[in-house]
């Protein structure tokens, strides 16, 4: 799970237009002490950015600067460009330079003395300094840009964790204490923690102190991460590192979801897939084609969170008037298999038999489809894969259905797939009245001369559409 380096080697582009905007506008020129380039003695300097603790390579650029009144002035644009390498973005508008700093950075906004000047320096929208700048022509680009005293920039960067040293020629920026910034195709771990907490009704716990060097108790995400740790949903990588701002891996995501649903190693055999990654794939939480060692992309993250919501709701709308049932997930050791014995004889003779039964149950329910055509709701009922398995549907009154290949409606006290044959790959259609239906998956147990219910759903139609509820078969 390695990522390519985020550092940019070599020189940087020399034209401010490369960022899509200029740091010198008409108002900036008016507000600054604008002079022609010939008014200053321009000298080429160097800005060297040292990497973080996880990436020790350096970035170097060589802009022109000048001294004025015993103060060294450097061009803002080059500094902005260098800071992008460590994840600090910049905006420039109406003489305001705003540093947009990642949430994972610890920002010091104490003891602010704003001062006075035409240019405002901000961190995430908070005014930190006011300074006067000078608009002059950059010899490298031939364009006018804004220069400001290096001392103020050093103070600004120190507040976001970038140390700097100036020797008169080289300006060294040390970003080794900053946390790594993820590339755009990765997601930070805290984001899923937050969504899981919200989905399961877990309130943040902002109490401190925090033992983690990468997540102080003052951090905005501490409350969610702390609560998830307390609930056993999330396990940090070490006693001193929370990992909250690390890239979210599929393995970590699936383990957190597994924990949130109350699964344990002891009852793994009763869950589809028997372990977190295969379970999350089998029940439909993982998007297609994910590998356990992958990092989760923003698109995959969005799908994963959406899938979680769909399973909690019991369905997802797939089109106008069409809905796919999503079997609400539970700890099957408790919800399905607890107490499955008769005269001290287990209903299932092996772990493979348990897996076959629960896999077929999820597969069946997740393939149910609801359709609304002009107010008439119908349920498409697929076949079951298990040889001794059958579906059973009841309602308040008779159940109306169409067997596969038939066009007319039949009515009976119940729908029983042992009676209504559903060939593999085919489906029967059942009318869904407003007061709903109860549909179950069952397995015949010839050795015990009986049957066992493996899962049960209530499907009804409310004023806003389908209402799907899982029924605990062990209640």
Residue 375 located in a structural domain: yes
Residue whose token pair is 């772990």: 351
Same domain, 263 and 391: no
Query: What's the rounded Cα separation, in Å, for the pair 51 and 325?
Result: 50
Residue 264 located in a structural domain: yes
**Segments forming the whole domain that contains residue 450:** 314-470
Q: Which of the listed residues 293, 311, 329 is the one where a domain comes to its end? A: 311
Same domain, 322 and 462: yes
Which phi and psi angles does 257 have, rounded to 5°? Answer: -65, -45
Residue 126 located in a structural domain: yes
User: What is the residue-level pLDDT of the chain in tens, covering all 475 positions?
Assistant: 444 333 333 333 322 322 333 444 433 433 344 444 447 889 999 999 887 544 555 678 899 999 988 899 999 989 898 888 788 899 999 999 999 988 778 889 999 999 999 999 999 999 999 999 999 999 988 888 899 999 999 999 999 989 999 998 999 998 888 877 788 899 999 999 999 999 999 999 999 899 998 888 988 899 999 999 999 999 999 999 999 999 999 999 999 999 999 999 999 999 999 999 999 999 999 999 999 999 999 999 999 999 999 999 999 999 999 999 999 999 999 998 886 655 455 788 889 999 999 999 999 999 999 999 999 999 999 999 877 899 999 999 899 999 998 888 999 999 999 999 999 999 999 999 989 999 999 999 867 778 899 999 999 999 999 999 999 887 5
| Sequence-distant (≥ 6) Cβ neighbours of residue 359 within 8 angstroms | 272, 282
Same domain, 199 and 167: no
Same domain, 363 and 276: no
Q: Which of the listed residues 311, 335, 368 is the one where a domain comes to its end? A: 311
Q: Which of the listed residues 118, 151, 174 is the one where a domain comes to its end? A: 174
Burial class (CB within 10 angstroms; exposed 0-12, middle 13-18, buried 19+) of 265: exposed
Same domain, 225 and 279: yes
Residue 283 located in a structural domain: yes
The pLDDT tens digits of the residues spanning 75-117 come to 998 989 888 878 889 999 999 999 998 877 888 999 999 999 9
Residue 182 located in a structural domain: no
Residue 198 located in a structural domain: yes
Same domain, 209 and 142: no
Same domain, 427 and 460: yes
What length is written for the chain? 475
In sequence order, what DSSP letters do the residues of 132-166 get, joined into one string? --EEEEETTTTEEEEEEEHHHHHHHHHHTT-EEEE
Same domain, 304 and 332: no
Contact between 53 and 152 under an 8 Å Cβ cutoff? The reply is: no
Predicted pLDDT at 446: 67
Same domain, 124 and 217: no
Contact between 286 and 305 under an 8 Å Cβ cutoff? The reply is: no
The tally of domains found in the chain comes to 3
Distance of CA 423 to the CA centre of its chain: 40
Contact between 118 and 132 under an 8 Å Cβ cutoff? The reply is: yes
Same domain, 319 and 292: no
Residue 387 located in a structural domain: yes
Same domain, 20 and 168: yes
Same domain, 339 and 441: yes
Residue 307 located in a structural domain: yes
Residue whose token pair is 């539970």: 330
Among left, alpha and beta (phi > 0; psi -120 to 50; other), residue 327 is beta
């Amino acid at each position: 799970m390695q990522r390519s380096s985020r550092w940019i080697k070599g020189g940087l582009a020399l034209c401010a237009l490369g960022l899509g905007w200029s740091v010198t506008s008409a108002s900036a020129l008016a507000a600054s002490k604008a002079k022609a380039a010939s008014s200053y003695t321009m000298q080429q300097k160097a800005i060297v950015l040292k990497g973080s603790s996880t990436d020790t390579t350096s970035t170097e650029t060589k802009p022109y600067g000048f001294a004025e009144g015993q103060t060294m002035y450097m061009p803002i644009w080059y500094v902005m460009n260098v800071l992008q390498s460590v994840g600090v973005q910049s905006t420039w508008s109406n003489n305001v330079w705003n540093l947009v700093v990642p949430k994972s950075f610890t920002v010091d906004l104490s003891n602010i003395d704003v001062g006075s000047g035409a240019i405002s320096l901000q961190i995430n929208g908070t005014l930190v300094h006011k300074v006067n700048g000078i608009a002059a022509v950059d010899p490298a680009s031939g364009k006018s840009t804004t220069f400001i005293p290096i001392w103020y920039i050093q103070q600004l960067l120190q507040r976001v964790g970038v140390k700097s040293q100036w020797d008169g020629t080289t300006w060294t920026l040390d970003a080794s204490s900053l946390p790594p910034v993820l590339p755009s195709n990765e997601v930070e771990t805290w984001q899923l923690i937050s969504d899981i907490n919200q989905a399961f009704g877990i309130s943040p716990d902002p109490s401190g102190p925090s033992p983690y060097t990468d997540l102080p108790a003052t951090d905005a995400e501490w409350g969610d991460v702390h609560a998830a740790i307390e609930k056993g949903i999330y396990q940090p990588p070490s006693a001193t590192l929370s990992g909250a701002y690390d890239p979210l891996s599929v393995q970590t995501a699936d383990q957190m979801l597994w924990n949130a649903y109350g699964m344990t190693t002891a009852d793994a055999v009763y869950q589809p897939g028997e372990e977190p990654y295969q379970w999350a794939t089998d029940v439909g939480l993982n998007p297609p084609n994910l590998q356990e060692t992958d990092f989760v992309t923003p698109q995959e993250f969005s799908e994963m969170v959406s899938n979680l919501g769909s399973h909690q709701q019991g369905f997802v709308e797939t089109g106008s008037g069409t809905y796919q049932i999503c079997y609400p997930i539970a700890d099957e050791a408790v919800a399905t298999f607890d107490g499955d014995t008769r005269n001290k004889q287990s209903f299932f003779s092996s772990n493979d038999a348990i897996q076959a039964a629960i896999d077929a149950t999820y597969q069946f329910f997740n393939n149910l489809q609801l359709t609304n055509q002009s107010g008439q709701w119908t349920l498409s009922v697929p076949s079951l894969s298990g040889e001794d398995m059958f579906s059973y549907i009841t309602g308040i009154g008779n159940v109306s259905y169409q067997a596969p290949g038939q066009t007319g409606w039949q009515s009976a006290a119940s729908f029983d797939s042992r009676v209504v044959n559903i060939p593999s790959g085919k489906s029967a259609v059942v009318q869904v009245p407003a007061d709903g239906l109860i549909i179950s998956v069952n397995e015949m147990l010839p050795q015990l001369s009986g049957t066992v219910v493996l899962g049960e759903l209530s499907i009804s139609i409310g004023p806003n559409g389908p209402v799907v509820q899982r029924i605990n078969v062990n209640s």
